[in-house]
Structure 1
């Protein structure tokens, strides 16, 4: 089992081992009943003391993630209702693949993959931060696909340019300039979604031991990307103004970051907006310490009142900001189109990295999206989309205000797709999620959004994916579950104090 340990981090080796194994279990990379290395073998592989591994296993066992069986070894503790005999029977029916456990991999975890792979066919997905079908211009996009395939069949038979279709790169220039991002086609690269941009920036500029700063909590997939690169991750908490830049400044004095990731506008998962003041301070810090800012802008077009502050990229004059803009959250997730903007040599290096990665994005999807930016289609699409999403947000907030129990708190986002809910500190949102799945609901447990010291009393719900009647029903059910969950905890506390 490969675990990257940072012996210069402020986090103990025991906690690093515990976190790495816990992440693998929770994301499904380590499956229930799978045997873990012995304390002796893992201590030898990681070059740490026996007691360091022993204490890590001890904590994992206390958390209910592993089970130590005298004389047999240490195993992943399953949460399945299936019996141990059933598991043994399943394993006996096919040849053993246990030899695969001896092959090291370099995956830190795969939390998003785990959430997406969970069979949720009959579950109302409050977990899904995506648009409901009725909010996506599917007929219009389908028509573009058909027309371009008919007019130019070579779109289906040829590779596109690695940097992306030149006409699309030219067509998006007015869109970005309206947002005060002064760029040119040569400084734009088209991506297979903005997630690819995060991965390309990490694979190009981040290596083992490099200092990377993430917001806390943060979009879960960024954690996986930077851990896979072997980065030393530091986290900066966010408040109602976004990332607490004063705390970042203190970190920079001792450990200047190579890269700072931020999702400053309607942040995923919390929905908060970084103030204009802090955006300027963050850029000033990056300039002082020659750091890269990776600005992930997924939902700034989805605002419900006044427009959010200008992007950090719009203030950047020295090429410190690499800017990502995905269209999944406001046009179509299925097209998997995103844009990366970078200056100077950064763009050339990133295009080279993309060439290694995939040889270029599909031309047909780029052509289908092109008319959105080359005509007034986007300007016609966005205002009604904002109104419909605001209606959904308001519906959820009304139900929460009316029906959620005391002690539960939530954000009130001015845009985006998500609401961040906080339970009393002693409660575990994972346990609530187990109850919710039995009632036909899913949400995103908050612990997956914390890179280091995980917090378990938060979760995220999205108001964009379900139709209105199901959304109303689902949030009402969630509030009922919250009442039962909080009341059960209060009853347990009373018994403990009797």
Structure 2
């Protein structure tokens, strides 16, 4: 188990150890009943005092994640999260625990593909709303016209025709770029990873929103970054707090999802977008603008992208096509300029020598035709209906102690519960009903808030949404009623 200690961070060493072990547990990187290092061993390994480790272990035990057995040691106990089933033959692989790894966390993958019947945890789009049939036809046509497409490597930077098509597509969204400044990636997740592996090393400061996209947290934590967070309100990242962090720490990267923020759904105002760019210019840092679904707006178009406001090459723009078009294609693009782009291209070459040519070719006819615009219009209509359904159920059936942000686009609704409700525990009860959601704890890089959850309304049909959201409301009603009864009971 690798624990990265950052001695210059504002977070205490005890909290760093606590969160690191907790991230390992929640990411299933530490198995149930696994023995942790002794207090003395871990303090020596990390170069910290015995008291620091003791306090971290005590908090983990108090929160129910580990248990100490007198004379035997300290062991993982997953009572606060879903216990993994014991698999036959596991003992054969116990030796593997001696192999050191450097993964601090990998939480998002746990909620991406799940066995539950009602899947509200990952913001994918219902396959029935995607142009599957047309894309299949294009693949057949491509094979008939160019049967050698499978025996060719594509350009490392990405197919030239696709890059040109993406320039025209992005121009309709007021995102200026050129084919030479576009890099085709295997989804926007690879774009985040390329930026991190190119520009982030142990101790480098990365500023993120709180909450934020869990997949980005996993990547930056994996690079050993010192992550600092800025809370989000209805207008996005709070600039006055960001300014304070920038003045004190001079971050290398600011990562933001300004349009239909994941997970809250907030839209950053145009004023704040400009202010972040000014900050980036003043301290010479990079801004990663992650844009997963700005096309999915329900009322009016969102403000101009930060990339469109950038004159000096500070913004690295990421756009994924997987969600809105073809998840199986895993196509995304990264737009940057200058030497920043050249270094990212080199990182792409080192990673995979280029994304698959077949899937790149398959989507070109669609995104260059009127069909794409028609598809997006229908998609906005269908998802607005589903969003409105979820909001209606929440309004009618959720406890009055529960609040939520009304998203004006995107794929998710962010709920805030009473502070004493831990959504990690609530998820266990939901899974018993074959329902899953994303607990808020996965969305916080540092100081975790456990009383939030994200409901994705884009993947399930209306009947499944009704059943799933109604069940979650019932679970919340029961939890609050139980709390009221406990508080009102006489204590002896």
Question: Which residue of the partner structure matches residue 108 of structure 1?
Answer: 104
Moved more, 98-107 or 420-429: 98-107
Task: Choose the corresponding residue for 2:175, options 173, 181, 184.
Answer: 181
Question: How far off its partner does 1:154 sit?
Answer: 2.1
Question: Which residue of the partner structure matches residue 418 of structure 2?
Answer: 424
Question: How far off its partner does 1:138 sit?
Answer: 0.7
Question: Which residue of the partner structure matches residue 334 of structure 1?
Answer: 328
Question: How far off its partner does 1:240 sit?
Answer: 0.6
How do residues 375-454 of structure 1 correspond to structure 2 at under 5 angstroms?
375-454=369-448
Question: Which residue of the partner structure matches residue 55 of structure 1?
Answer: 55
How do residues 231-246 of structure 1 correspond to structure 2 at under 5 angstroms?
231-246=225-240
Distance 1:83 1:193 in 2: 31
Task: Choose the corresponding residue for 1:216, options 198, 203, 210.
Answer: 210
Contact 1:40 1:50 in 2 (8 A): yes
Distance 1:138 1:178 in 2: 23
Distance 2:90 2:450 in 1: 37
Contact 1:191 1:338 in 2 (8 A): yes
**C-alpha spacing 1:164/1:81, structure 2 compared with 1 (3 Å):** closer
Contact 1:371 1:377 in 2 (8 A): no
Moved more, 185-194 or 369-378: 369-378
Question: Which residue of the partner structure matches residue 311 of structure 1?
Answer: 305
Moved more, 111-120 or 319-328: 111-120
Question: Which residue of the partner structure matches residue 279 of structure 1?
Answer: 273
Question: Which residue of the partner structure matches residue 36 of structure 2?
Answer: 36
**C-alpha spacing 1:496/1:282, structure 2 compared with 1 (3 Å):** farther
Distance 1:470 1:373 in 2: 30
**RMSD over aligned Cα, in angstroms?**
1.8
Q: Secondary structure at the match of 1:324?
A: strand
Moved more, 194-203 or 49-58: 49-58
Distance 1:118 1:389 in 2: 22
Question: Which residue of the partner structure matches residue 6 of structure 1?
Answer: 6
**C-alpha spacing 1:82/1:20, structure 2 compared with 1 (3 Å):** closer
Question: How far off its partner does 1:103 sit?
Answer: 2.3
Contact 1:131 1:330 in 2 (8 A): yes
Contact 1:179 1:314 in 2 (8 A): no
Q: How many residues align?
A: 492
Distance 2:167 2:346 in 1: 22
**C-alpha spacing 1:227/1:309, structure 2 compared with 1 (3 Å):** same
Contact 1:127 1:442 in 2 (8 A): yes
Question: Which residue of the partner structure matches residue 98 of structure 1?
Answer: 94
How do residues 200-215 of structure 1 correspond to structure 2 at under 5 angstroms?
200-215=194-209
Calculate the TM-score normalised by the size of structure 1.
0.96
Calculate the TM-score normalised by the size of structure 2.
0.97
Q: Which runs of 5+ in 1 are unaligned?
A: none
Contact 1:149 1:364 in 2 (8 A): no
Contact 2:112 2:121 in 1 (8 A): no
Question: How far off its partner does 1:112 sit?
Answer: 1.4
1:373 has 2:359 as partner: no
